[in-house]
Structure 1
Amino acid sequence: MGNRWFILCLAIVAQIASISALFGVPFVIPALREAYGLTIAQAGTLAGLPSLGLLLTLPGWGVVIDRYGERFTMTASLLLTASALSLLAAVDGPVAAGAVLTLVGAAGGPVNAAGGRLVLGWFSARERGLAMGLRQAAQPLGMGLSAALMPIIAERHGFVAAMLLPAALAVAMAPLVAVFAVRPGPDPRGGDAMMAAETASPYRHAAIWRVHGVSMLLGVPQFTVMTYALVYLVEEHGWSAPLAGAVIAGTQVPGALARLGTGAWSDRVGSRLRPVRIIAAVSGAALLLLAGASVAVPAAAVALLLACLVLSMSHNGLTFTAVAETAGLAWAGRAMAAQNSLQAVSSTLTPVLMGVVIAWQGFTSAFAAAALFCALAVAVVPVGRRSPGATSARSG
């Protein structure tokens, strides 16, 4: 009983280390712009480059996870991530820094998929939504840690010094993962249909593609708000970067609780994806209100921005669990890596394209455009079947 919860905690902390490396750049955009003399669109492009690294390498990492296991993959990823981040101190200019940030993404990507596969093996279908909700809470917790600490370090010591924080976290976690990140025994608790040794490709069926599509669509509002929230508060409301970072960090706690709550919700209703449709609809409405308030009621816009931050991150645990359950354990590593790869398309392109929209039409238009992607996700979500964990590896 205690062992599986320890494994869950280990996966959470390892993911926090990885997340702070992959997605910490948006919280130091002012220092990044100052260091290299960049426009906001150029800085947004650099902020998206770790996601490009994920996109290029995650399919290969998925094969490594399924073939060599979670412990090897996570340990290698954490060590490579720390090594890549240390290179920032040795390069000069935005092009070289961009190449290093791409390398950081290439190294850091598999921790999410490997940690997810590890947790899935230890928990049964009736607990899996809750367990994965807890595990996916690592993302907002990692973002909160980054938002709270990295702007302070960046303001005092510069962009490169701030990026050494996630490097230190990765180095600290690597030996713990190497020793303790073990798979369950031959008779794991997760003895449901997902655990069956099925080897046929789940990609012959439409359901898994639709889950991937929903994640990509909802990644646009998520990364729009996440990337530009700090810049919005600084430029539109006159906040200092550390204050904005601290407030954004504060939203990560309710964001983590939202992932936990939606996971338990999905266990209760027997569906991972029906809650996703509701979340997408509410998120789209909140973004439209934010777009309107930014013009008409600026004071209310701050509260709406913080609500959008929480809502935009609350779906990830559900879609991540759904794609793994749909794939089955034999394909879970590759399926979750594919999920992260496709999400990386959103997280790579969104900062670039929304940076152009902001430069051209302002933040209001960017928020309204993000709401459109929520509406598209509502239409794409497959909600006609029960959770894969509740019935079989092919239901959803």
Structure 2
Amino acid sequence: MTAAETVPRGGGVRPDRRAYGPRHRWVVLAVGVGAQAAFAAMFSGIPVTGVSMRAGYHLSTEALGLVLACLGLGVAASDIVWGLLTDRFGDRRVLLTGLSATGALLAVMAVAVTPPDGAGVALLALCLALAGALGGSVNGASGRAVMTWFAEGERGFAMSIRQTAIPVGGAVGVALLPWLAGSYGFRAAYAVPAAFCLAAAAATWRWLHEPAPPDPGTGPAAPASGARPRGGAAPRPEVADDRSPLRRWDVWRLALAGALLTVPQFAVLSFTAIFLHDVKGEGATLAGITVVIAQLGGGAARIWTGRRTDRTGARRTHIRAIGVLAALAMAGAAALTDAPTPLTVTALALGGLLANAWHGVAYTEIAAMAGASRAGAALGLLGTTLFAMGFLTPLLIPMVIAHTSWAAVWGLAAAASLLAVPLAPGEARARR
């Protein structure tokens, strides 16, 4: 094997123009961030168009909940499959396929699945489910790229940066898509995220490559960066377990805890606009500001927790702590439902921020538990549980509203966060 050849994960040797050394890991991270942000702009932005979507497509609140839930259903149904395909064929092929297909689908929606085209609930729900299923490819593929290129001492930081692309890209979508839908219609609201996905696919084609192969006789290659945790601590070795991550209860515990922590995230993301419109008489602007604060604040918190856990290794402790804090914030939102609007909005923004803060640490931990060679399957499992809850939450909330109140909605989100705390495996179990 020459220095100008790289080994695709699907097996075999393919020629390349150059070998990509350790510094290229930051380029790979940037590509992963772009891919994740492009999908997040669509995934987070479309639900915040809920008021315009409900009026334009003539939907009831229950039908709107079903339509929005299909985004999460699509990701949940496909994420494990994408993860297994990533382990088999590699990050580059999966990202190119998923991003290109998502961009093409959104372009078709811009042309033929808008209110002037007479699109109904069934067609809209189907298209959003497909968009989620195709776009979900970015979760495992970009995460496995980070695991491949970064060593243990930098993985938490790198994965948190990648995960921060979700709230940052989501904030762009939240700020942009409701305005586009209200001012220019849903053709523009679908065309812009289509362009984002196609641009991310082009960046993937140009810059996402494999690490340089090891020199002959040196043994298996280490992750590209070779970094060690700050403070002199030795990197924590990956768990030596030959079982598939899909057959390990500790991996499932972390994935299910993440699903419970997702409830307040999707509650704030999907229904803040409806709550403020129906209960407080506010327009989409205040809802957009609330969700953007939650998204951007959550992104900053992800980076902080990633850097901190690279030093301490206590990822699971941080996940549990965030669960407690998110439960307290959402309980505050429940108690303040009928309070003056600034107080209610503050509690919702804080709850949404905390509900967005744990993802980078959880994705890093579950990938490390599985090992780099099986990280795609583990990341796919986490994505499946998260987005399955993302499907169920928008379906459940209208039922809760119909039979109880909005205070019960935010209280349910608080309870889910609190239940995640004992379910997440502790640090002592991880060391054993």
Matched residue, 1:40? 61
Secondary structure class of the residue paired with 1:185: coil
1:90 alignment partner, one of 96, 103, 112: 112
Superimposed CA distance per residue, residues 1-47 of structure 1 (whole angstroms, 9 cap, x where no aligned partner): 54211211111011101112233221110111012211222112111
The offset of 1:292, in angstroms, is 0.5
The change in CA–CA distance for 1:279 and 1:195 in structure 2 (over 3 A counts) is: closer
- State yes or no: 1:189 paired with 2:224: yes
Match of 1:304 in 2: 347
Deviates most, 288-297 or 136-145: 288-297
Contact 1:45 1:352 in 2 (8 A): yes
CA RMSD of aligned residues (A): 2.0
Letter of the structure 2 residue corresponding to residue 76 of structure 1: T
Whole-angstrom distance in 2 between the partners of 1:5 and 1:241: 37
| Distance in 2 between residues matched to 1:208 and 1:395, nearest whole Å | 14
Q: Which amino acid aligns with 1:349?
A: L
Aligned-partner Cα distance in 2 for 1:56–1:178: 26
| Structure 2 residue identity aligned to 1:175 | A
Aligned twin of 2:372: 329
Which residue does the alignment assign to 1:77?
98
For structure 1, which runs of at least 5 residues remain unmatched after alignment? 387-393
Counterpart AA for 2:425 = P
Alignment of 1:98-137 (within 5 A): 98-137=125-164
Say whether the 8 Å CA contact 2:25–2:224 is kept in structure 1.
no
Residue 246 of structure 1 and its aligned partner are, at CA, apart by 3.7
Which of the two has greater helix per residue? Answer: 1
Aligned partners of 1:155, 1:264: CA distance in 2, in Å?
40
Matched, 1:15 2:58: no
Distance 1:228 1:216 in 2: 18
Deviation at 1:244, TM superposition (A): 2.5
Q: Distance in 2 between matches of 1:361 and 1:76?
A: 44
Residues 202 and 327, structure 1, Cα contact 8 Å, conserved in 2: yes
Cα displacement (A) at 1:235? 2.5
- Alignment match, 2:167: 140
Following TM superposition, by how much is the alpha carbon of 1:279 offset from its aligned partner in structure 2, in angstroms? 0.5
Which residue is 1:230 aligned to? 273
For 2:225 and 2:388, locate their aligned partners in 1 and report how far apart those are by CA, in whole Å: 32
Contact conserved, 1:50 with 1:104, CA < 8 A, in 2? Answer: yes
Q: Does the CA contact (< 8 Å) of 1:326 and 1:395 recur in 2?
A: no
Which segment is superposed worse, 101-110 or 18-27?
18-27
TM-score with structure 2 setting the length: 0.85
Aligned amino acid, residue 67 of structure 1:
R
- The structure-2 alpha-carbon separation of the partners of 1:365 and 1:198, relative to structure 1 and needing over 3 Å to count, comes to closer
Shift of 1:73: 0.5
Map of 2:334 onto structure 1:
291
Deviation for aligned residue 1:269: 2.1
Which deviations, in whole Å up to 9, do the C-alpha atoms of 1:79-132 show, x marking residues without a partner? 100111123232421111111111111111111111011011111111111111
Q: Determine whether 1:158 maps to 2:185.
A: yes
Query: Which runs of 5 or more residues in structure 2 are unaligned?
Result: 1-21, 114-118, 214-220, 227-234
Secondary structure at 1:385's aligned position in 2? helix
Give the counterpart of 1:3 among 24, 30, 45: 24
Does the 8 A contact of 2:35 with 2:200 survive in 1?
A: yes
**Which range is displaced more, 137-146 or 59-68?**
59-68
Q: Which residue of 2 aligns with 1:170?
A: 197
The aligned residue for residue 51 of structure 1 is 72
Q: Alignment length, in residue pairs?
A: 389
Say if 2:64 is the partner of 1:63: no
Deviations 1:189-212 (A, max 9, x none): 366776799753234432111111
Shift of the 362–165 alpha-carbon distance from structure 1 to 2, 3 Å rule, reads: farther
Matched, 1:364 2:364: no
CA distance in 2, matches of 1:149, 1:135: 21
The CA deviation string for residues 357-389 of structure 1, in whole angstroms up to 9 with x for no partner, is 123322211000111111110111111338xxx
2:381 to 338, 342, 349: 338
TM-score by length of structure 1 reads 0.93
User: Quick check: 1:78–1:174 contact (8 Å CA) kept in 2?
Assistant: yes
Identity in percent: 32
Q: Distance in 2 between matches of 1:248 and 1:7?
A: 29
Deviation at 1:185? 2.2
Kindly provide the amino acid, as one letter, of the partner of residue 169 in structure 1.
F
